[in-house]
Structure 1
Amino acid sequence: MQQLKYFLLFLLCIPVFSNAQDKNTTALVGNYLEVNGSMGQYNFAYDELLKMLKGRYPENNSNAEGWKYLKENKTKAVGEMKTLLIPIYETNFTKEDISKMVSFYTSATGKQLLTDRSKMNPAQKEKLNTFYNSEVGKKIIEKQSILGTEISKASEGWSRDLYETALSLLK
C-alpha cells in the first residue's frame, strides 16, 4: 500500500516537472526570437501597417477609439505572434540547440550579423562559418524549408487577423 502511494505521488509530479521544463524552454525560445531579430521584424511590420492605414483612414472623431486601441495594443499583438512562433521552434529544436543559437546571436558576431553583415570582419566571418558548420548550424540549414513554411503560415494568419481587426476598428 505504501508503495502504491509513492507511485501515485510520482505520477502526479511528472506533469509538474515536465511543465517546468516546457516553461523554461518556452522562455528560452522567446528570448531567441528577441535576440535573433525576429520580433523586431514583427514590431516593424506592425508599425508599417499603422503607417499604411493612417493614409487610408486618417484619425478622426469616429475612429479615434480604434486608433487608440491599435497604438496601445502593439505589444500584445506582437506577443501573440511570438506565441505562434514558439511552438514551431520547440518542435524543431532541442533546448540545447536553442541555447546555442541564443549564445551565437548574443555574441559580437551575431550582433554584427544582424546589424550589417557587410561590415563583418574576417574573424567574425570565420565565427559565422564555424557556427553554421556546427551540429546546430547544420540543423538550422536542414530545417530551413520546414521553418520557412511554418513561419510563413503563422505570419500570414497573424497579418491577416491584424489587418482585419484594424479595418473593423477604423471604418
Structure 2
Amino acid sequence: MKLIKNISVVFLLITLTSCGQETTFQEDVLTYIKSNGTAKQYNYAYDELLKMLGNQFPKTTENASGWDYLEANKEKHVDEILTQLAPVYEKNFTHEEIKKMNAFYQSEAGKQLVADGEKLTEDQKKEVNDFYGSEMGKTIVEKQPILATEIGKVSEGWSRDLYETALSMLK
C-alpha cells in the first residue's frame, strides 16, 4: 500500500512538473508576442475596426449596449488573438529560442525598435544588427514566410469573428 502511495506521489509530481513547464513556455511566448510589437498591432487593428464601425453605425440608444461592450472588451479580444497566436510560435520555435527573443525585445534596443525604430541610437542600431545577424536572428528571418502564413490564418479567423460579433451588436 505504501508503495502505491509513493508511486502516486511520483506520478503527481511528474504531471505537475510537466504541466508547469508547458505553462512557462506559453507564458514566455505570450511575453514575446506582447514585447515584439504584435500586441501593439492588434490593439491598433481593434481601434481601427471601431473607427470604421463608428462611421457605419454611429452610437444610438438602440446600439449603445453593443458599443459599450466593444469599448469595454478591447483587452479581452486582443488577449484572445494573442493566445490564439501562441501555438504558432510554440510550433515554430523552441522554448530556448523564445527566451533569446524575449531577452532581445526586453532590452533597450528591442524596446526602442518596437516603439520607434527611427529613433534608435547608433549603439542600439548595432545591437539590432548584431541580433538579426546572429543564429537566432537568422532563424527568425528564415521562418518569416511560414509564420506569416500561419499567423495570417489565425488573424483572419479572429478578425472575421470579431467583425461578425460587432455587426450583430450594432445593427
Q: Deviations over 1:46-78 (max 9, x none)?
A: 111011101100111111111111111111111
Instruction: State the alpha-carbon separation in 1 of the partners of residues 83 and 162 from structure 2.
Output: 15
Q: Deviations over 1:65-95 (max 9, x none)?
A: 1111111111111111011011111111122
Query: Quick one: percent identity of the two aligned structures?
Result: 53
Shift of residue 3, structure 1, vs aligned partner:
5.5
User: Residue 85 of structure 1 aligns with which residue?
Assistant: 85
SS at match of 2:152: helix
Instruction: State the alpha-carbon separation in 2 of the partners of residues 8 and 142 from structure 1.
Output: 45
User: Residue 156 of structure 2 aligns with which residue?
Assistant: 156
Shift of residue 5, structure 1, vs aligned partner:
5.2
User: Residue 131 of structure 1 aligns with which residue?
Assistant: 131
Query: Which contiguous aligned blocks of 4+ residues in structure 1 show a shift greater than 3 angstroms?
Result: 1-9
Which segment drifts farther, 95-104 or 63-72? Answer: 95-104
Instruction: State the alpha-carbon separation in 2 of the partners of residues 96 and 22 from structure 1.
Output: 13
Shift of residue 120, structure 1, vs aligned partner:
2.4
TM-score (structure 1 length as normaliser): 0.91
Instruction: State the alpha-carbon separation in 1 of the partners of residues 29 and 77 from structure 2.
Output: 18
Shift of residue 7, structure 1, vs aligned partner:
4.1
What are structure 1's unaligned runs of at least 5 residues? none
Shift of residue 128, structure 1, vs aligned partner:
1.2
User: Residue 168 of structure 1 aligns with which residue?
Assistant: 168
Query: In the alignment, residue 153 of structure 1 is paired with which amino acid?
Result: K
Count of paired positions: 171
How is 1:1-171 mapped onto 2 (pairs within 5 angstroms)? Answer: 6-171=6-171
Q: Deviations over 1:24-44 (max 9, x none)?
A: 111111111111111111111
Instruction: State the alpha-carbon separation in 1 of the partners of residues 60 and 5 from structure 2.
Output: 66
Which segment drifts farther, 57-66 or 129-138? Answer: 129-138
What are structure 2's unaligned runs of at least 5 residues? none
TM-score (structure 2 length as normaliser): 0.91
